Amino acid sequence: MDKLLDSFAKDLNAGYPGTAIFFGEPMSRHTTFRVGGAVSLLAEPKSIEAFVWAVRELRRLDLPWMVLGNGSNVLFSDGPHRLVVLGTSRLDTVRLSVDSMIPGAGVLLSRLGNAALEAGLTGLEFAHGIPGSLGGGIYMNAGAYGGEIKDVVESVTFLAPSGTLRTVSGADCGFSYRHSRFEDSGDVILSATLRLRPGDPAAIRARMDELSRARREKQPLNYPSAGSTFKRPAGDFAARLIEEAGLKGVSVGGAQVSEKHAGFIVNTGGATYDDIIALMDEVKTKVYLNSGVILEPEIRIVP
Ligand SMILES: Cc1cc2nc3c(=O)[nH]c(=O)nc-3n(C[C@H](O)[C@H](O)[C@H](O)COP(=O)(O)OP(=O)(O)OC[C@H]3O[C@@H](n4cnc5c(N)ncnc54)[C@H](O)[C@@H]3O)c2cc1C
């Protein structure tokens, strides 16, 4: 694998100068949980063309690989991982028109919210404060405070496993609660067109400020985490069930069920993958024994 990796990195760099390439890069540096061991290679192509070339080449070489957005919903094991990670952070251009925007997959939702505010466009306020990228947000239909990505996606351009570039309408993205077709398909999201509406900048700003305040009040933003650990079960809230099972503040090593918001597992310092997984297992078991509800992880786990 090492020789193949070397030649992949050399060709990527030669064909597409400006790609950032890191060998043996710890994923703790690229995830909001601040946990995760080294991957064989992290590459961050700077253009869609470079990204498409890299994906096609990795498939041709049959090397294991995955896509990473802003790393805010993913937990890597302590590794090492024989894996190539393609990061989208440099697919970061945003094109604006009167009532729409076309961002690259790596643009952060927070930046999109601010760009919409500056352009006087409404519809993205809900996403202000979700610390993910557009691609990661579409992948799992991120949402908050009554809004979801699906409400603003007009179309998505992606690379299919066959190696072809395709565009589908938002209606064909298979969106449901914290889910899209991209979770099952192996497609790589490259960009999207978002449909927004002209709005009053003062009202947009006020709503964004209100949501930021709500997050600061309710969420343990002073500790690394990956947001809500478990999906919301039908008709209930994971945090409520976890609290009711007496788990608020319970720790395993450096991982703790947040005392501020029981839906979050936080890294209070030096948490390992095993700590977090053991705590998630304990939470699942105790919630099931207490309420009969089976919690499902919302975070993506890379063992
Ligand atoms: C403090 C905090 C608060 C949060 N609040 C919310 C919230 O209110 N609502 C909410 O929904 N989420 C929330 N999250 C979770 C997270 O921010 C979202 O799930 C976000 O959409 C993840 O985006 P990302 O770019 O970080 O994805 P990553 O974590 O990088 O990746 C997540 C998954 O998406 C895949 N992926 C990423 N980009 C692409 C792409 N371009 N093509 C194909 N697959 C891709 C990855 O392979 C991985 O499987 C929160 C997280 C934190 C830490």
Contact 72, 131 (CB under 8 A): yes
CA of 37 to the centre of ligand 1 (A): 19
Given the residues 40, 72, 228, 258, select the one marked as catalytic: 228
User: Is residue 36 within 8 Å of 78, Cβ to Cβ?
Assistant: yes
According to the model, what pLDDT value does residue 29 have? 98
Please spell the DSSP secondary structure of 134-201, one letter per residue. Answer: HHHHHHTT-EETTEEGGGTEEEEEEE-TTS-EEEEEGGGS--BTTB-THHHH--EEEEEEEE-EE--H
Give residue 303's pLDDT: 96
Q: pLDDT at position 96, please?
A: 86
Ligand 1 pocket mutation, candidates 39, 88, 90, 130, criterion most atoms within 8 A of CB: 130
Q: Is the CB of 180 under 6 A from ligand 1?
A: no
pTM summary value? 0.96
> Which of 83, 81, 199, 192 minimizes the C-alpha distance to 142?
192
CATH 3.90.78.10 describes domain 222-302: yes
User: Which atom in ligand 1 lies closest to the alpha carbon of residue 73?
Assistant: 29
pLDDT at residue number 97: 81
User: 2-87 belongs to which CATH class?
Assistant: alpha beta
User: Looking at the domain 94-203, which fold is it?
Assistant: 3.30.465
Q: Supply the pLDDT for residue 76.
A: 98
Identify the pLDDT of residue 21: 96
Q: Is the CB of 149 under 6 A from ligand 1?
A: no
List the chain residues with pLDDT less than 50.
none
Active site residue 298: yes
Q: Which of 148, 178, 180, 225 is catalytic?
A: 178
CA–centroid distance, 142 to ligand 1, in Å, is 7
Ligand 1 atom at shortest distance from the alpha carbon of 225: 53
Q: Hey, where are the domains in the chain?
A: 2-87, 94-203, 222-302
